[in-house]
Structure 1
């Protein structure tokens, strides 16, 4: 498990499972000869995408950023379509660290698409129940509204089995929310209407978790957005703002989906990596 410290705040990447999705969909209108130079692709035109939650420990609190793809949520057809090579080992990883599911205080949900939210619930008998019994689940009000009432496009990614059992644990917010000193969520929209990013800062150290408006290091170009984005121009505007802000301040950028890097720092141009935390492969 890779770790990174932002001042006294500790981040640990956990195993939430792995998918393989079409590279063209993940890079939108960007031609394959361009994006394939920056991120490896297999003979099925798929790229490897982790779904790895980040354990954030600060001020005596245990927090998770997103929840992985869970276990037992997908049938064989879904596993094939989403290129699932392994399901989540999130709870086992936490156990290795001496942390039980009841020890998680907050789950910071950047958005509630299935590949981020499947780890929130599990099957017990005939019912779905929360995996993290007492954690408060933080997401934007916009995202929570759409999760419960998806449209014709979004119903394929907002699954009832991922929200009905945790409804009482949801703590929605508008615009911005400070979780604890040094950790803040900000509503950006873009990838989904309710999508949020997370800013982590302690002293002079700072990290921006861009979630799915920048799912991998290869998406640093502000124009390289996903075909999956519901509002691509909103994604571009959010990336412009937060890349400019972060590059000027020497911030780290962290990733949930990247199969190669956990976090990077770029130079002020945003083109050269000057510090990195690679994923152990």
Structure 2
């Protein structure tokens, strides 16, 4: 498992699953000859996307950033349509480093689409139960409201089995929440109405988790928004804001979906100055 140290914060990437989605949908109006130079596709025009939670250890607390694809929650049709080849093994990943699901103190949800939220619950007999029983689950108020009351478009990604079992654990916020000293969840909108990013700052050290506003390294260009975005113009403006912020800080940018990089560090002009590559066996 890959790791990164940023100030007091230690990050470890867990195995949350993998799926293959249409490259055109992931890059929106960007022509394929441009995006394929930065992120390869297969013969079906699909690109490989991880759904790997990040274990964030800070000040004696264990947090998980998003939760992976879950296990046994997708139908055969959904697995086929979403190109799912691998489901979550988060519990096994934690055990490798001496932790259990019960050791997680907080879950930091950037948003609650199924590929980020299916790992919140698991099936036990005939019912669904929380995966992280002792954790506070943080999400924006806007996202939590839509999760429970999806519209005609979002009903296909906000699922009752992912939220009903965890209602007593959820803590929401409006615009911004300081989860720990220097660690903020910030509501951005864009990809979804309630989408959030995560920013950690300590002295000269900084990492930014842009979640699905910048799902892969190939989405660095502020104009490259997803066709999946509910509010693509908002995504563009928020990316512009937070890329400028991070470039000035020479920040690390961490990834949940990228199949090739776990994190990249940029200089003031947006050039790469450091990297954490994913150790990978490419899918054929």
Q: Scaled by the length of structure 1, what TM-score is found?
A: 0.99
Where in structure 2 are the equivalents of 1:86-97 lying within 5 Å? 86-97=86-97
Q: What residue in structure 2 maps to residue 232 of structure 1?
A: 232
Match of 1:266 in 2: 266
Q: Size of the alignment, in residue pairs?
A: 280
Q: Distance in 1 between matches of 2:231 and 2:68?
A: 23
Pairing of 1:23-172 with structure 2 (within 5 A): 23-172=23-172
Cα distance in 2 for residues equivalent to 1:97 and 1:274: 29
Residue 21 of structure 2 corresponds to: 21
How far the C-alpha of 1:229 sits from its partner, in A, is: 0.2
Q: Is the 8 A contact 1:69 1:117 kept in 2?
A: yes
Q: Deviations over 1:45-93 (max 9, x none)?
A: 0000000000000011000000000100111111111111111010110
> The residue matched to 1:163 in structure 2 has which SS?
helix
Q: Is the CA contact 2:204–2:249 (under 8 Å) kept in the aligned structure 1?
A: no
In structure 1, C-alpha distance between the alignment counterparts of 2:90 and 2:108, rounded to whole Å:
15
1:149-228 equivalence runs, <5 A: 149-228=149-228
Structure 2 unaligned spans of 5+: none
Contact 2:14 2:90 in 1 (8 A): yes
How much does 1:33 deviate? Answer: 0.2
- In 1, Cα distance between equivalents of 2:126 and 2:6: 42
Q: For 1:180 and 1:101, locate their aligned partners in 2 and report how far apart those are by CA, in whole Å.
A: 20
Match of 1:255 in 2: 255
Aligned twin of 1:275: 274
Moved over 4 A (4+): none
- The unaligned stretches of length 5 or more in structure 1 are none
